[in-house]
Structure 1
């Protein structure tokens, strides 16, 4: 019964958890701590710290650890807890996988459609403008422009576009320059 409840809980979170992993954290806490009592608030706080330290998306890491801890706190053996962790991870990812699969199917099917192609031509610049708007909103929150950062950005752009330098080299160089300058 606990497996069905865990699966149902995390498939709901995966379906309605818009905004990325950090947006899902409050939903996971509500379900795991408040509603079902599978762990304490302190355990959940520790779980968040571990999820942030491990590689991967925080929402998926948190669901994996929550599935494991929920079963461990109920006294299940380690192998069953590992299966619970795997199940909660799959349940969280399954809705996104299904949605992307459906979108991909229709994208491939209608790719050559004239109306769809024109719609995509309109969406592309919109996507770029939304990303630019997010960047500008971060700049305006500080109420000043850090010109050194603008110069670092321009340099990184030139190194990437004109000289085709590998992004890891650019990031490493920018990190070293940031340590020196700031």
Structure 2
């Protein structure tokens, strides 16, 4: 199983541009749909927990999934496998950057990649919103949180803590019993 975990998470790390958010649909496809290691309903919780922890989202998700499957050794394998491709690519770029840093073709390629990376981040955002049951009735919550962070510079940590407290209060005292 460790070999399968390493291979899967190395491939995830190797073929993902755009960071952790762009990796979410690929991780979901691999661990939920293809390998059935994680239930779909648990995946959204993994994303939320991973976002709440310090560090890179993809590494946090990998570590959590690895730990859930094979405890500490699984977390080490999946984290290492996810980070290794980026490390190798950055190492290669650092070794040869001076040779192509002023190349107009390379600059044009990066200008073309940037909008695609935005799309890679936008798609999982909308998918997560759907999975989290964000509707027209409650879409003001994530919009308000995003605006509070962007416009007023409120720390995301404060937003997460307040959202957790509000969710607890809502669930315990406000939500009508079924």
Common topology (TM > 0.5): yes
Residues 25-104 of structure 1: matches in 2 within 5 Å? 25-71=24-70, 81-104=71-94
Q: What SS does the aligned partner of 1:5 have?
A: helix
The answer to whether the aligner puts 1:175 opposite 2:150 as a matched pair is no
The farther-off stretch of 10-19 and 99-108 is 99-108
> Considering only aligned residues, what root-mean-square deviation do their CA atoms show, in Å?
2.8
Partner of 2:124: none
Which structure 1 residue ranges, 4+ long, deviate > 2 Å from structure 2? 116-120
Aligned length: 117
Gaps of 5+ in 2: 119-148, 155-178
TM-score normalised by L of structure 1: 0.56
Partner of 1:113: none
Partner of 2:5: 6
Residues 95-133 of structure 1: CA deviation (Å, up to 9, x unaligned): 11111111111135x4xxxxx56438x94xx87xx79xx
Q: Structure 1 residues 39 and 117, CA, compared in 2 at 3 Å: closer, same or farther?
A: closer
Which has the greater radius of gyration? 1
TM-score normalised by L of structure 2: 0.57
Partner of 1:144: none
Comparing both chains, which one has the higher relative contact order based on Cα–Cα distances under 8 Å and sequence gaps of 6 or more? 2
Gaps of 5+ in 1: 72-80, 111-115, 135-170, 177-182
